[in-house]
Amino acid sequence: MNKDIFLTNSYGGKKEIFQPIDVNNIKMYVCGPTVYDDPHIGNARPLVIFDLLFKVLKCKYGNDKVTYVRNITDIDDKIIESAKDKKISIIELTNKVNKNFQENCKYLYCDEPTFQPKATDNIKEMIDMINVLVDKGFAYESKEHVYFEVKKFKDYGKLSNKKIDDLISGSRVEVSINKKNAEDFVLWKPSKEDEPSWTSPWGNGRPGWHLECSAMSKKYLGDKFDIHGGGRDLLFPHHENEIAQSCCANGTESFSNFWVHNGFITQSNEKMSKSQGNILKISDFKKNVNGQALRLALISAHYRQPLDWNDKLLEESQKTIDKWYRSYIELDKPKLISDDDLYPLYDDLNTPKYIANLHKLFEESQSGNLEDKKKFVSACNFVGLLSETKYEWESFKKNKSILSDEAIEKKIKERNRARDDKNYELADKIRDELFEKGVQIEDKDGKTSWKFK
């Protein structure tokens, strides 16, 4: 069986063998949150997807040979506006949202990245990069703004397969009389009196959003690295602009060897967004949904495909986790996962196939064989599932929508009493209630058995 890792590279749109620049130092950068509001379920998908890729890379190359950087954008137009709307300071807002974000990552059983740099801690690096771009003639100053001149970078648009003329006609560019050309994007802008600002050669101001990631990835990973990830919505203009300014500043032909983008989460096939009014925040799930169930739901579809979000998806994920806990055992230490076990994940993070294999391993574990159970639990643990003890899972389940084994047995006894009393209407009602919650019952030889459908 092929033991190579394959990833779909957005730069070219093809699945390719992942070949690291240095097998002893794998480098991955993923765009993190802009901390202006609590993360929503759409933000959760890249968190889980790239956490999974991080796990796969560590398993393949070694825990100490993978560097994963995920930034925190804590200065941006959205942050300034949100702080004004909430009538709190920017620092108060960003600290609160970042704290919630970190708690959400733990709730989703994500490993901590190697580094989580904040934009505001790296302003010097951003100013240095702008200076280089200006000195090399790729950027220009105009009325205390500094812009990157897109026409100076011949490969602009190759990642997103867009031409400059199409970008202008599509009007997805910031309009400003300060620019030489409509498609040019801002590297530095002046701050208003009540906005955060830093001293620079172009006056007091703050960096443009696109520049932040270029400066931070350079600081922690160097001029070139292996993988750059993020949601598909970042492909243009954010990632396209990162490539342009980084290649020009660093004097390299490439920036990241692989570009990996996850698909959108939708509701009724519409992208989840504030403008659609269909945002579901991660914090909204915490009271009634275990993080493992949410994680399973998020990896139920292939990462490159849209994931249509609905209550049934979440209910099925909770029922699956509950069923799998029947084979739970505590492992003395993590069992090593073989390349064969990981093959679906090596193949462009094929999580649906990996989950299908988990179902097979669960069925095998039902024989009672200890080694089969160990193998099943290890395979679940690898992707962040069955991460709690059975006691912790059962404790969370109490008074939640999912039925425990004890609750099911109680309902069946109630149904049997109703049948003994010839109250068939009540008996049928209980049977239907159980069926709606995913429990299928069967009467045979005077006994009633049940299983999750």
The answer to whether residue 87 is domain-embedded is yes
**Enclosing H/E stretch for 80:** helix 77-86
Q: What is the pLDDT of residue 362?
A: 95
Residues 380 and 435 in one domain: no
The pTM of the full predicted model, rounded to 2 decimals, is 0.86
The domain in which residue 372 lies consists of 287-397
Average pLDDT, rounded, for the chain: 91
Measure the CA–CA gap between 2 and 286, rounded to whole angstroms.
Answer: 39
pLDDT in tens, 274-321: 666 668 899 888 878 999 999 999 999 999 999 999 889 999 999 999
Say which residue, 199 or 430, is predicted with more confidence.
199
Distance in angstroms (rounded) separating the CA atoms of residues 237 and 186: 12
**424 vs 40, 101, 121, 166, CA distance in Å?**
45, 51, 69, 68
Do 97 and 189 belong to one domain?
yes
Is residue 130 domain-resident?
yes
Residue spans of alpha helices (H) in 201-275: 209-221, 240-250
**DSSP letters along 320-352, please?**
HHHHHGGG----SSPPPPPHHHHHHHHBT--HH
Strands (E), 119-184: 139-142, 145-148
Q: Are residues 212 and 317 in the same domain?
A: no
Spatial separation of the C-alpha atoms in residues 59 and 337, rounded to whole Å: 8
Q: To the nearest whole percent, how much of the chain has pLDDT over 90?
A: 71
Whole-number Å distance between alpha carbons of 159 and 142: 28
pLDDT of residue 246: 98
Query: What is the pLDDT confidence band of residue 267, given thresholds at 50, 70 and 90?
Result: confident
Mean pLDDT (whole number) for 160-184: 75
Number of domains the chain is built from? 3
End residue of a domain, out of 207, 233, 266: 266
* Domain-ending residue, one of 397, 416, 439: 397
Q: What is the distance between the alpha carbons of residues 76 and 206, in angstroms, rounded to a whole number?
A: 9
In the chain, what is the straight-line distance between the N-terminal and C-terminal CA atoms, in Å?
A: 33
> Is the residue at 431 inside a domain?
yes
**Residue at 272 is within a domain:** no
